[in-house]
Amino acid sequence: MAQRLHLVFGGELVDPTKKAFKNVEDIHVVGIFPNYAKAYDAWKSEAQRTVDNAHMRYFIAHLHRLRDEEAEAGPTEELDS
């Protein structure tokens, strides 16, 4: 069974209508979770905790989509050849 890892992270945005972080060094990494349901719970908790700051946003990244064993090697993997 394939793992479906998810990363939850967030921080303060430059503009709440865009997705650019104000300071990349201040990004809050909540954690990596084994499934979407747990990642969603963590995301929701952080989003609710920071609801008073309109510039704060949290995101769920689907880490399992970054590497698909069935697909051909990506450009960075080809560098090791």
Q: Please state, in angstroms and as integers, the Cα–Cα distance from residue 74 to each residue in 6, 15, 64, 67, 81, following that order.
A: 20, 33, 15, 9, 12
* pLDDT reported for residue 70: 63
Domain assignment of residue 29, yes or no: no
**Per-residue confidence (pLDDT) for residue 79, from 0 to 100:** 44
Instruction: Quote the number of domains for the chain.
Output: 1
Q: Is 15 part of any domain? A: yes
Write out pLDDT tens, residues 6-52: 999 999 999 999 999 999 999 999 999 999 999 999 999 999 999 99
Q: Is the pLDDT of residue 69 over 80?
A: no
> Domain range holding 1?
1-21+35-46+60-65
Mean pLDDT of 57-66: 90
The pTM of the whole model exceeds 0.85: no
On whether residue 10 sits in a domain, the answer given is yes
